[in-house]
Amino acid sequence: NVSVKILWLKMKTALLLRIFPVKVCYLLIRTVTFYYKDSLNTGFKRCRP
């Protein structure tokens, strides 16, 4: 059943959020976005003549 799968996914997400603090997730996202933006900037610089 689809609704059961969604409910299980929600429970799994809630458990993961309990295990890993929100601060860690926030830092991880910030680091990933920073490196992603950095690589994008260097990519644009390389593409430009």
Percent of the chain with pLDDT over 70: 92
**Structure tokens, 35:** 């490196």
Domain edges within the chain: 21-49
pLDDT in tens, 1-49: 789 998 999 988 888 777 767 777 788 888 888 888 888 777 777 776 5
Q: d(Cα 31, Cα 43) in Å, to the nearest integer? A: 18
Q: Which two structure tokens, joined as six digits, stand for 2?
A: 């689809």
pLDDT of residue 48: 64
pLDDT at 7: 92
Q: What type of residue sits at position 20?
A: F
Residue 47: both structure tokens together: 């593409």
Q: What is the pLDDT of residue 8?
A: 92
| Global confidence as pTM | 0.37
Q: Does an H or E element contain 49, and which? A: none
